[in-house]
Structure 1
């Protein structure tokens, strides 16, 4: 009996220690300290009105049913300070302006990409995280901040899975909500902030509604954790976008047997010029702008009803009610068409060496242009004849470019059982979905790829959303984007996009595994194998992020699955298996980097000297 008491005591002690460690990281999450810049510079990428529209137009997402007023009223777990203050949210990497004030579009004075929308059925106003939260960047140098509209975010957003290091937005939000619900003093203050003067029934209803949102968030955290769905930690500036969207649409909303391990984080791609691309997504799998944007909204939390509560399929006329706001998505897409690439600010990052950049341009034309130059299609060869220009995006097989294949492999190999939706082949043929490079046989609903499955679900959601919004056939072509169908192609590769403004988008490769352009032009053996992310401090010499250790940073280890930094290599010897070009001497790399600062910039290109260019040669093949 004494031995049993000792054993139980030891177990209790260990539980208390674990709880104490957890509470410590709730109270003091491992986040970088936020220091406001001396000045924030907005580049001339578009008009201020377009910027405000992009930052705060909702797209119909919800954070587990969290209402906007709830979010701005939440307190930190161990203080009465508000969770949603700009300076605190900036520690997660969300973007704030030191001089920002609440506005009609941003009444909670929240960071970029935190919007709100009113639900048409309930009238409740929900917190809406928009595309701007993930596709807006900022760089720092010598105390100055440079906003990169349409650039890559550097925040810690996606993960809700508890970790000892703490620091992700989802995890900390969940703990703040839990402390609010279970601490009666906090909940009293919360209820007063949300309801003002109120009666007991109103308070009780708020408590029930709030608990539902808390349960959803904690349920997601538990589900992700006990299934080990996201074993490769994403850290700052990355998420496994395709994996999370597939787990949301096929697992959460349809069948738990459809959950798949998502171990391939990707960086957030920049958005300028994407309206010109014939194929988008890192793997060039999607064509239609509206379908791409609906898929993104579903992945971020737009509500979606696929089945009855009893698990049976809905009648065709009742299917696919969702929260996506197609009019707002169309407004955002049109706004992005006016977004210009960022231009190198010499007064902050240093003057351009025109002689060096001229040599770099010649080297670029020899070694890079054959993959990365924009290639406008003739009108008779475009997917959308009225889109001018329409650029051909070369999707390079992973066997050639050699970069970490996990993202492309998962998208190509994961299969999902969609039979519970009750689709018929005749239904699918009526949808505005076009498969490219695929056999025309019937779709096997028991093992559908993620790209195809999302295309068909998106087609149903899109059609329902158009009907609910009163958008007729005449408008649909415009809303879809140039009348394009929901095109799908499946290539085990990655898109080689044009490089205008590439200087403003570190770290590099699809998974953010290379910190600077100089390292990307160097052999793999000379690239950092581990480096720290989460800081926006810029290195204008190497053109990339600073990689020193700092408090609250995330150590990116390229040896972990999904984080590989090999491939896209310039090295002596035969080509293939990731070697794409000849070895570049250090002075050639420096010249190329100098040119990549100003590629496509109309203020610099005419000032560069026209030097002779060696022809591109494919080199000896390893095969």
Structure 2
């Protein structure tokens, strides 16, 4: 039982006051319109607006810069409606709670105080110009966990569902735009006029140019660390790779091991029922640690640490303290702990979406009844049968080793084997005041734990003894010694010897054999699963109907058969991603080459083509669709359709 102290009570008072303030600001705002049907997911209008607009402390680029920035190869505004459409983010009109008309999840962070002046060794020109104290644009969790689904001319908004955005291309284009602005005199002049005003001096313009170039270099370093031979496309991101690379960069530790890159893109998970689960992320790397009841509100400290880790990866400014500074003071950062706690508590209220029969058509009750029997036989041993609307029952998720699931190993193995030069982390305990010391070259996961705990302590030092001590006791380390042999082939079908070696090292490590291994993927309740296409952790299966089919790739890998085009009763080896047009029969988005959207001039935005195998028929590591059959391949087509009908009811 956790001891409640006076500092914890004061912390609760602060959170309660902030919550009341935000509710007053947004109580009259509604993101829903006649054109966008918001489903009843147990949120008020204020909850939804807060989810879209609250800052977690993410700082991608100064807001004034982004509003003035042009595309690298044209004069089109980077934030133009057409450009946002290309990237797949959800547009929102300007309103009282969104005065700049920013897309969903694009939020403003503003700190006028001197505490905003961090990362000055990394960005000295920006700090010298006090740009850190200006408004910055960043992203919050809703940018990645909100989607629109279209059918029959109607649009359904699903909160907490995976986005269909192309995060990778947006960051690449942003970097190109910054570079172009810093070297193209005409672009620079237009940019400076918008940012500084028509009467700006040459000296001010030169200072701005230096600041733009500085930010471009910094963003370029992150892009280089996150380079991947696998394109993400719409609806995927190697979030764990990006977070770990950012942590390594913050520590100024130098290059990563060349064998571990951000080449394991994963679907954005849906986030309803998240607070009820004891393990989070596809490989269960983030677990529930301790929940503190404070003045009738429960603060999930595990969720807090998890969300701090996420915002570190998504553009938060963090400064690892010099070694002479006492460890118990933590690290300076832009992370907004109070807001993140309030976002987590808002998320705890979010219910799973219920199939909107008025839009997608009625569910066949007889087929669904028959389908439930198949669910009990084939699925229920891993996926708990959670009642619709249940947002309180604890969920102990089932973890299955990657070899048992038969799925792609890259995400789990990359996370396990990600190592970096420690830099500023070296010699520090990986939970600030507890735990082993980080070595000169060590697991980046340990550095992430150190950074996240340091940020929390830096913002809430009153939680240090009562919470962080409990946190470290519940966290496994990622240190291991690999037990290698050459008896079996690992990552069969892949051409890359480096990836094969990585898979072997991962799957034969001592850590992979432990009960709490992260070389595994989780199964959770399937409530609202109909709204979360594409499927599997890497988005390699486009529809629920396809998920119930056997994988030809799995057969090839296990039986050594020749790769060939799959039949109509097997999972597809390629399909298009990006369309929001729904297929209620197969339960997923359209997978043909239909345009993602139309731009203002009638130009079509092409979809992204997902390829399970390359042009020569070789499987693409990171894109394998061979996982999660569990007997459903033995069902007849009618039985599959019955099971599919039941899944719509969840």
TM-score, with normalisation over the residues of structure 2?
0.72
For each residue in 1:51-106, what CA deviation from the matched residue of structure 2 results, as whole angstroms up to 9, or x when unmatched?
1100111111122xx10111112233455442212342122100124xx2x23432
The equivalent residue for 1:270 is 270
The equivalent residue for 1:186 is 187
The equivalent residue for 2:251 is 253
State whether structure 2 residue 39 is matched by structure 1 residue 43.
yes
SS state at 1:191 partner: helix
How far has the Cα of 1:341 moved from its partner? 0.7
The equivalent residue for 1:541 is 585
The equivalent residue for 1:567 is 627
* Residues 125-164 of structure 1: pairs in structure 2 closer than 5 A: 125-158=135-168
2:355 corresponds, among 337, 344, 355, to 344
Q: 1:41 touches 1:146 (CA, 8 Å); kept in 2?
A: yes
2:425 corresponds, among 414, 421, 426, to 421
How far, CA to CA, are the matches of 2:413 and 2:220 in structure 1?
A: 30
1:449 corresponds, among 433, 443, 454, to 443
CA 1:509–1:74: 2 relative to 1, 3 Å: same
Q: 2:147 touches 2:162 (CA, 8 Å); kept in 1?
A: yes
Q: 1:306 touches 1:314 (CA, 8 Å); kept in 2?
A: no
How far, CA to CA, are the matches of 2:267 and 2:109 in structure 1?
A: 27
2:232 corresponds, among 224, 229, 234, to 234
Q: 2:386 touches 2:525 (CA, 8 Å); kept in 1?
A: no
TM-score, with normalisation over the residues of structure 1?
0.75
Q: 1:253 touches 1:304 (CA, 8 Å); kept in 2?
A: no
For each residue in 1:344-381, what CA deviation from the matched residue of structure 2 results, as whole angstroms up to 9, or x when unmatched?
111211111111111111211121111001589xxxxx
> Which runs of 5 or more structure 2 residues have no equivalent in the other structure?
1-32, 117-131, 288-301, 477-515, 553-569, 596-605, 613-618
State whether structure 2 residue 519 is matched by structure 1 residue 492.
yes
How far has the Cα of 1:404 moved from its partner? 0.9
How far, CA to CA, are the matches of 1:315 and 1:430 in structure 2?
A: 10
For each residue in 1:515-556, what CA deviation from the matched residue of structure 2 results, as whole angstroms up to 9, or x when unmatched?
011111111130001111111221110111211124522111
The equivalent residue for 1:117 is 109
* Residues 484-563 of structure 1: pairs in structure 2 closer than 5 A: 487-488=475-476, 489-525=516-552, 526-551=570-595, 552-558=606-612, 559-563=619-623
State whether structure 2 residue 404 is matched by structure 1 residue 393.
no
2:452 corresponds, among 447, 455, 458, to 458
How far, CA to CA, are the matches of 1:255 and 1:483 in structure 2?
A: 26
How far has the Cα of 1:179 moved from its partner? 3.4
Q: Aligned residues, how many?
A: 506
CA 1:50–1:485: 2 relative to 1, 3 Å: farther
How far has the Cα of 1:337 moved from its partner? 0.9
Q: 2:330 touches 2:456 (CA, 8 Å); kept in 1?
A: no
Q: 1:305 touches 1:321 (CA, 8 Å); kept in 2?
A: yes
SS state at 1:416 partner: strand
CA 1:144–1:62: 2 relative to 1, 3 Å: same
2:50 corresponds, among 39, 50, 53, to 53
How far, CA to CA, are the matches of 1:88 and 1:108 in structure 2?
A: 16
How far, CA to CA, are the matches of 2:350 and 2:639 in structure 1?
A: 32
SS state at 2:634 partner: coil
How far, CA to CA, are the matches of 2:392 and 2:648 in structure 1?
A: 26
SS state at 1:230 partner: coil
How far has the Cα of 1:449 moved from its partner? 3.3
The equivalent residue for 2:175 is 174
The equivalent residue for 2:11 is none
How far, CA to CA, are the matches of 1:444 and 1:238 in structure 2?
A: 31
CA 1:318–1:210: 2 relative to 1, 3 Å: farther
How far, CA to CA, are the matches of 1:114 and 1:429 in structure 2?
A: 32
How far has the Cα of 1:293 moved from its partner? 0.3
Q: 1:524 touches 1:565 (CA, 8 Å); kept in 2?
A: yes
The equivalent residue for 1:297 is 311
Q: 2:327 touches 2:432 (CA, 8 Å); kept in 1?
A: no
How far has the Cα of 1:591 moved from its partner? 0.7
How far, CA to CA, are the matches of 1:332 and 1:326 in structure 2?
A: 10
How far, CA to CA, are the matches of 1:50 and 1:191 in structure 2?
A: 38
